[in-house]
Amino acid sequence: MEKHKHWRNSPDQWGLISRILHWVMAIIVIGMLGCGLYIDNLPDEPIKFLLINLHKGTGVVVLGLLVFRLLWRLSQPVPSLLQLPQPHLFLAKASVPVLYLVLFIMPISGIIMSQSFGYSINVYGWFTFPEIVSKNPAVGKLAAATHQIAGWLLIGLIGLHIAAALYHQFFRKDYLLTRMWRSK
């Protein structure tokens, strides 16, 4: 059992699985946000529809990873927050559920948007995501607006998350970023 201890979180360190999930999802989510902004500015040509299908399939993958990540987080101890002043501690604790909420809203609103406009979601040719809503353009418009607002909100939250990590690493010198990068 000791042999696999580094895979799991400890009271003062993120485990390998948590760190891999964090960085893989960060790369995918930031890529998805960039792709979504790029798609919005493309004319209706074949490349746009190819990117939309890849975006939708990746959104389903993100949703699956997010469910796994949340279940993993709930099953593991959360490493202690460093000695933070009260406002920082409040922001650190409040930001996690807000970030998870917005991360869930993105793929769910994307799925609802696509299906409400009558489009299926094919995940890389592996499978078609089950239909959870019927065609309903009014619901599709609401889901599209939700997806767009949540996207901008997520961009802001990621920006704040990165700024906080850099602040801790370089100004407070408590090496918070290092804890998410490698084990002790």
Tokens of 174: 């408590």
Instruction: Write the DSSP string, 104-122.
Output: HHHHHHHHHHHHHTT---E
Q: Which tens digits make up the pLDDT trace of 72-111?
A: 999 999 887 666 777 777 887 788 899 999 999 999 999 9
From first to last of its 184 residues, the chain has per-residue pLDDT tens of 455 678 998 888 889 999 999 999 999 999 999 999 999 999 999 999 999 999 999 999 999 999 999 999 999 998 876 667 777 778 877 888 999 999 999 999 999 999 999 999 999 999 999 999 999 999 999 999 999 999 999 999 999 999 988 888 888 887 777 777 776 5
122, burial (CB in 10 Å: exposed 0-12, middle 13-18, buried 19+): middle
Q: How many CB atoms lie within 10 A of CB 37?
A: 12
Distance in angstroms (rounded) separating the CA atoms of residues 123 and 55? 9
